[in-house]
Amino acid sequence: MKSTRLLLMVYKPKQNFVRSVYAVIIGVLAFCPFSLSQESTEDKDALMIRKIYDHVLEKGDGYQWLHDMTTQIGGRLAGSDGADKSVYFTKNILDSLALDEVYLQECEVPHWERGEPELVKIMGGKELRSTALGRSVGTGPEGVEGEVIEVFSLDTLEKLGEKMLKDKIVFFNRPMDPKQIRTFNAYGGAVDQRVWGATRAAQYGAKAVIVRSMSLRQDDYPHTGTLAYDENSPKIPGLAISTNDANYLSQELKNGSVRLFVRNTSKNLPPKRSHSVIAEIKGSEFPEEIILVGGHLDSWDIGSGAHDDGAGCVHAMQVMQTLKALNYKPKRTLRCVLFMNEENGLKGALTYADTSNARKEFHIAALESDSGGFTPRGFSFDAEAEVFAPYFRQIVEWEGLLEPYGIHFWKGGSGADISPLKSQRGILIGFRPDSQRYFDYHHTEIDNIDAVNKRELDLGAAAITSLIYLLDSKGLERE
């Protein structure tokens, strides 16, 4: 009896203490009904993102897909056999993922052929490593010869005028600015001479143009890329030379006049039929809201387009494979689009946007990966001014979920292929990996699979998939 009383004396205070603590917890929750729910949601999101990373890093197929596409097909310039092969190569992979729909979207693309190997040679001296710029006309088999005039800006042409430029070969030698931390800014500050140099020089009677390659690295690899002709101006050939040879030519010009011989047999042919590749998983709750993830399937012909933009294509494909493998049921329609003809025409993107607008579709978000397969740093966001602020306020609230993976958000551009969708008033997103080495390979013969690190590629795919998951599971409200 005595022992029983003692037990009750010991037990009763403990029981009262537990009841008191329980009452305090209930009271706190009564005043903060959202706190537990919010924490639970964040934990759920963090767990899903961890699953995404684990799956991609352990079981991702993107690197193997990229290896096969670049080694078995190679360059994929729009209108070429390689481009056609890549369409069916990627469609077959997407078909194997058991998605809701996989189809081709026809588009008409430019057809340009490089022709025979180019020749740029200092008369009586050294041959310079060169490549014709995309869409360039040819010199003809006989080539052209002329005195070289070095310039550093398009504006200089007007100052020199026809008197100084007629029958000359204009050498554009403005380098990318090494002081720019973001190399895409450095590229943007120099690329106008490549795009418009031939047209502007032709207005003053020049025979041809030579352009310094768009790269911060000093090497022997010339970089191609598209030029644009004004239909009202004569068309003259445009070629790029390597950065090392640009420095060499500039030094030779300091020592006196230089004459160059230039030969290329490039030609523009009638447009051809091609296709973008599209795959989707239908949304379970809001199928009319589309979240697009994509890259561009075409590449330049002189390499195999591993970073530009094979990496972006397999990033987008990996998103679909990962979410399917994790049995994730999206609320919104997820659409993977591999655009054709970004490099020299944007016809796939324009056709896609026109078709989407005609169907009165709404892309709540569109994300493009077209900056290579390097280590991911984050995402930049863009939209029509009236809707950007409310969208971005919601999105930055998710940044903490991706910070452990080194991912950050900022305001900025998106991508060329998704830019025509801006009028639909959704959010446009650019994937931003580390860019310091990108222009070492961009548009060159060395943009091949050996330039891509598998882990960096997989980390990019995991980051993109995680953001697509957040966009789908949370949605975006227009305030």
The pLDDT score that the predictor gives to residue 35 is: 46
296 falls within a domain = yes
pLDDT tens-digit profile, the chain (479 residues) = 333 333 333 333 344 443 443 344 334 434 444 444 556 888 999 999 999 999 999 999 999 999 999 999 999 999 999 999 999 999 999 999 999 999 999 999 999 999 999 999 999 999 999 999 999 999 999 999 999 999 999 999 999 999 999 999 999 999 999 999 999 999 999 999 999 999 999 999 999 999 999 999 999 999 999 999 998 889 999 999 999 999 999 999 999 999 999 999 999 999 999 999 999 999 999 999 999 999 999 999 999 999 999 999 999 999 999 999 999 999 999 999 999 999 999 999 999 999 999 999 999 999 999 999 999 999 999 999 999 999 999 999 999 999 999 999 999 999 999 999 999 999 999 999 999 999 999 999 999 999 999 999 999 999 999 999 999 999 999 76
Q: 193 and 172 in contact (C-beta within 8 Å)?
A: yes
Question: 294 and 420 in one domain?
Answer: yes
Which of residues 205, 236, 265 is at a domain's end? 265
Question: 388 and 424 in one domain?
Answer: yes
DSSP 430-441: EEEE--TTHHHH
255 falls within a domain = yes
Question: 293 and 249 in one domain?
Answer: no
**Structural domain that includes position 165:** 115-265
The pLDDT score that the predictor gives to residue 233 is: 87
Question: 163 and 76 in one domain?
Answer: no
Question: 208 and 126 in one domain?
Answer: yes
Question: 108 and 120 in one domain?
Answer: no
Q: 278 and 105 in contact (C-beta within 8 Å)?
A: yes
Cα–Cα distance, 238 to 131 (Å, whole number): 9
Q: Can you read off the two tokens belonging to residue 390?
A: 């409310």
The pLDDT score that the predictor gives to residue 311 is: 98
Is the link from the previous residue into 309 a cis peptide, with omega within 30 of 0?
Answer: yes
2 falls within a domain = no
Residue 187: which CATH number? 3.50.30.30
Residue 454: which CATH number? 3.40.630.10
Question: 277 and 261 in one domain?
Answer: no
31 falls within a domain = no
73 falls within a domain = yes
Question: 282 and 182 in one domain?
Answer: no
Query: Collapsing DSSP states into helix, strand and coil, what is residue 473?
Result: helix
29 falls within a domain = no
Q: Can you read off the two tokens belonging to residue 203?
A: 């207005």
Cα–Cα distance, 266 to 461 (Å, whole number): 37
Question: 129 and 239 in one domain?
Answer: yes
End-to-end C-alpha distance for the chain, whole angstroms: 71
**Total domains, the chain:** 2
Cα–Cα distance, 109 to 75 (Å, whole number): 16
For helices 155-165 and 192-202, give the axis angle rounded to 10 degrees: 30
The DSSP call for residue 404 is: G
Which of residues 216, 239, 265 is at a domain's end? 265
The pLDDT score that the predictor gives to residue 41 is: 80
DSSP 302-359: SS--IIIIIHHHHHHHHHHHHHHHTT---SEEEEEEEES-TTTT-HHHHHHHHHHHHT
41 falls within a domain = no
Which of residues 265, 298, 322 is at a domain's end? 265
The pLDDT score that the predictor gives to residue 21 is: 38
Question: 251 and 278 in one domain?
Answer: no
Question: 186 and 295 in one domain?
Answer: no
230 falls within a domain = yes
pTM of the model: 0.91
Question: 462 and 385 in one domain?
Answer: yes
Cα–Cα distance, 383 to 426 (Å, whole number): 6
